[in-house]
Amino acid sequence: MAVNARGTIHRTLDDESEDSKQQLDNADKGIWKDWPNQAAFEGLEEHRGPLQLRVKGTIPPWAAGTLYRTGPGQATVEGTSRGTHYVSHWFDGFAHTHKFDIIASEDGDGPMTVVYSSRRQSDEYVAAVKKMGWRHSISFGQKADPCVGIFAKFMSLFVPRRLNNNVVVLPNFPGLPDRQPENIARGHRTGTSKVYLSTDNKYLQQVDPDSLEPLGFADQAGLHPDLKGPLSCAHAQRDPETGDWFNFNVALGVKPTYRVFRVNAATGTTDVLASISEPDLPPAYIHSFFLTENYVVLCVPSTHFAWSGLSIAWQNNLLEAIKPFDKARRCRWFVIDRRHARGVVARFSTPAAFFFHSVNAFEECVAGGAGGETRTYINLDHSMYDTSDVMFGLYYDVILNRENATEAYLDANRDQNLHSRHVRYRFEMPLSAQTSQEAASAVAEEVLSIPSPHSGELSTIHPNHAGRPYRYAYGACNRGLSTFMDSIVKTDLQTREASLWSGPRAHTPGEPVFVPRPGGTEEDDGVLLSVVLDGTAQASYLLCLDATTMEEMGRAEAEFPIAMSFHGFHAPAL
């Protein structure tokens, strides 16, 4: 392991045991050097701006454009009819969207300008909580208010649902009515004319790409009448060549149905590529899926909902509706043809596990089979957890160590793997249609496993390598120094070496977004943009890293904290 003078740490496999020991020692002793600052999660203000940030160092002019970010913001509601309402789980913080306009000088040689603005997206929801005194709509993991009785909980089933889309920003999603005012004056120009926000349900929220003003919600049933199930995937995926978008919709009931669909970017029409409904296939919490050149690959992990999903309505949240983790419940995978309308073309399984995020997937053709035929293999990369315990570690009490909640959480899960690892499954596609027996016995091989902190969560890659072979993945990771992310890691999937950027103590980075250098020929030729919270100063900054060296190039500093968000994207300047 080597550390340079600018905060970048270079690691090899020889350091793996050292990192693992450090994490386990910290966990066993209940000792952490830092907890994220509360300013990252509660009482966060809007800054509709635009506000010009102070730029230090260098941000290259070819990185000009707009960085959109969205995630949880406000975590308390003051002055409700029952006093202060506290959000329990990080995933349930009220939606807050951010925009960084990165502007090059007119001649391209002068200093860069960065202008920031943000907007809350759930004001109607907050108003309803303030009026009723508790959160009545289905959430991810909101703990029940002990002051709310069974009757009030039952009556919540009949209160109009409120939506809190706070996970992913989707640019230019086709097929939905545009609620945007016509002939509106536009500011910093990018190729993004429409912006939607998504979460793990069937609704998309449109926001104005300039002002971030919420414009209303659209239902997936507006894309296709069969997409009427309540659940969907937050991470819709886009074909980088055609612009088509892919996702799935889940209908609950005695026989749940997964409908995998494509929205055509050119026509706005929607095709259902496969409807998957089997007697022993339960509904599950699924946050992402996989897209290759010819296939959509859906993994149903071991996070099954009880009562065929009907438990969601009674528990009023997804987390408590999920059955306790059972290692006997294997992950089930479905390979769907997205080119020739053949539906499901292969099935296989892998050991019980859970994942939030797929990283990439690609096909590999190998000649020289036993009969001289060419075999196709599908490689599926994701940030995997061996159990689902990580979801319980993202309650605010645990993240912020309120009343020793961190120690209690670790004590309860000491024998569990609470850190992700970058896993690649490799599956050999059958040459002919599988029989039911072949489908039941087919398995994928785990050919790569790189544990945290040598790999990260909230991963990103060079966008031109989506659906193709690739070498580098970038993510946010935890070196065991806090209850949250403390570094940005670059993982070399060929050598399994890692380079990490870490700021000073109490600096917490978010998801890195890769911006490629125009004309670059190397996969890591670009920059990473990440929003970092300085917990000591209670202020945030936009960090620009050289993606090759993982050294800081520049930053744009705010004088206030910016919420720790989930996901975003960079829209290049026109």
Position 30 scores a pLDDT of 39
Q: Does residue 1 sit within a domain?
A: no
**Does residue 525 carry a pLDDT above 80?**
yes
Residue 88 pLDDT:
92
Number of domains in the chain: 1
96 is in an annotated binding site: no
For residue 162, tell me if it sits in a domain.
yes
Residue 511 lies in a domain: yes
What is the rounded CA–CA span in Å between residue 188 and residue 520?
A: 25
Q: Is residue 330 part of a domain?
A: yes
Position 217 in a domain: yes
- Residue 116 CB neighbours (<10 A): 22
Rounded to an integer, what distance in angstroms lies between the CA atom of residue 52 and that of residue 35? 29
Answering whether pTM is above 0.75, one says yes
E strands present in 510-572 = 513-516, 526-534, 539-546, 552-557, 567-572
> Would you say residue 470 lies in a domain?
yes
CA–CA distances in Å: residue 389 to residues 236, 263, 295, 423: 25, 34, 30, 18
Strands 331-337 and 344-350: antiparallel
CA 352/CA 473 separation, integer angstroms: 24
Residue 2 in domain: no
Cα separation, 128 vs 123, in Å, equals: 9
CB 418 within 8 A of CB 393: yes
Q: Which residues pair with 565 in a beta bridge?
A: none
Query: What are the tens digits of pLDDT across the range 406-448?
Result: 778 877 764 455 789 999 999 999 999 999 999 999 999 999 9
Structural domain harbouring 561:
7-572
- Which pLDDT score, from 0 to 100, does residue 191 have? 81
Residue 415: what pLDDT? 42
Of 168-177, 309-318, 339-348, 509-518, which range is least confident?
A: 309-318
Check the annotation: does 287 bind a ligand: yes
Residue 529, domain member (yes or no): yes
Determine the residue type at 168.
Answer: V
pLDDT in tens, 225-276: 999 999 999 999 999 999 999 999 999 988 999 999 999 999 999 999 999 9
Distance CA 11, CA 452 (A): 12
**224 in a known ligand binding site:** no
Is 357 known to sit in a ligand binding site? yes
pLDDT more than 90, % of the chain? 69
